[in-house]
Amino acid sequence: MTAILVVGAGFAGAVHARELAERGWRVEVIDRRPHIAGNAFDMVDSTGVRRHVYGPHLFHTSNDRVVDWLRRFTDFLPYEHRVGAYVAELGRCVPLPVNRTTINAVFGETLADAAAVQDFLARIALPIAAPANAAEYLHARIGTRLTDLFFRPYTRKMWGLELEQMAAAVVARIPLRFDTDDRYFPTETHQGLPKGGYTELIGRILDHPNIRVSLATAFDQAMPKGFAFCFNSMPIDEYFGFALGPLPYRSLRFHHRAEPRGYRLGTTAQVNFTDDGIYTRQSDWSLLPGHVLAAGPLKTVTLEEPCADHENGMERYYPVKTSDGAPEKLYARYRTLAQAEPKIQFIGRCGTYRYLDMDQVINQSLQSVRAWLAERGQAASARNTHADDR
Ligand SMILES: Cc1cc2nc3c(=O)[nH]c(=O)nc-3n(C[C@H](O)[C@H](O)[C@H](O)COP(=O)(O)OP(=O)(O)OC[C@H]3O[C@@H](n4cnc5c(N)ncnc54)[C@H](O)[C@@H]3O)c2cc1C
């Protein structure tokens, strides 16, 4: 049996490994971290609460095929994500994305319906016909008060940029609701959390007699030589020794606090901070279904402090998007180098330098591995033949 090397035991690597193993390939999965599941890794900590170690992971999708594939390995606990934005001057949280409830709270209004909200926003918006940047786009849509409260400090903290430095397109997709729907993903047809957590889910995907997993094992340029092919989810610039320069990422430092079980900041598991402090958001894991595993007096609450990847041990979380598109252009040059590698395909978030949600990585991986198998005359099984092209 010929063997394939898969670098990375996150969703991208695990999906590739499973599909290959089911087609009869022997698969060696390596990961330099001491655990599987990549950035979706979760564990039960000393307070008895399940914590997502690399930030909150909420599964949401409208892709039935991804859900069908995952349901082979897990059941889902129903969960609809909601986010509160803590506004100090109100002393409480209001819904995000901005909706009618948010606007009424911030302005002390009693707008009764969508038409009233639209009239109100039209009155507070600035007359800017052709917004030149993100600040102008927001001013033209929602005025200065909502922009400065919900977008300006958060953007500065998250990206280290002023709204004036960002392209209008970056904020053009941020939803604004005229009703009181406070669900974060109202249009997704599937939302939920894997019943036993993400680590268990990925462990089950990797649990196949043809798959061997080696943890705490970093990729080495000599490794692929012993294999028929390599699917690689490591950062593509790192593979090429940063020959063209590093691809920039934002990262997050996580600060954990043990709080009494009765502690609450709002009613939502995620609270965003609108102030000028260092934190962008807080996760109260105990408010996610299935996340309190043991009784106890305390629970962990995690705060996020954004920073550059080089300020955080090269933990790469979010590809940086600048208005001149420089990072994407640099990635395109790495991709050209990669196309000259006949036995390696780059996969996943850092391999393809795209911020991808879990469902997108799973879908991308099913497509990629299925195309690879088809080229070798190995059609995918019927249950996996329909990943969407998203
Ligand atoms: C803070 C944060 C919050 C997120 N929230 C959500 C969410 O709510 N919903 C959602 O759908 N998605 C979310 N995501 C996205 C989600 O994490 C990704 O879609 C998913 O983890 C991508 O899987 P992957 O396998 O491509 O990458 P990863 O999970 O990063 O896995 C790649 C693996 O490769 C390993 N690796 C890297 N280099 C090497 C090397 N040289 N040698 C060996 N191993 C190596 C890494 O250690 C890692 O384990 C979030 C991401 C972040 C960062």
Does residue 390 carry a pLDDT above 70?
no
pLDDT, average across residues 288-296: 97
Per-residue pLDDT reduced to its tens digit, 32-80: 999 999 999 999 999 999 999 999 999 999 999 999 999 999 999 999 9
pLDDT, average across residues 117-146: 95
Q: Measure 356 CA to ligand 1 centroid, in angstroms.
A: 9
Does residue 322 carry a pLDDT above 90?
no
Task: Using most ligand atoms within 8 A of CB, pick from 35, 39, 67, 281 the residue to mutate for ligand 1.
Answer: 39
Residue nearest to atom 29 of ligand 1 (CA): 38
* Cβ 281 under 6 angstroms from ligand 1: no
So what's the pLDDT on residue 382?
Answer: 42
* Cβ 32 under 6 angstroms from ligand 1: yes
Per-residue pLDDT reduced to its tens digit, 18-30: 999 999 999 999 9
Per-residue pLDDT reduced to its tens digit, 190-211: 999 999 999 999 999 999 999 9
Count the Cβ atoms, other than its own, within 10 Å of residue 374: 11
Residue nearest to atom 22 of ligand 1 (CA): 349
Q: Measure 118 CA to ligand 1 centroid, in angstroms.
A: 39
Which domains are assigned to the chain? 3-80+189-248+316-384 (3.40.50.720), 83-172 (no CATH)
Confidence at 381, pLDDT banded by 50, 70, 90? low
Q: Measure 11 CA to ligand 1 centroid, in angstroms.
A: 7
More confident residue, 388 or 342: 342
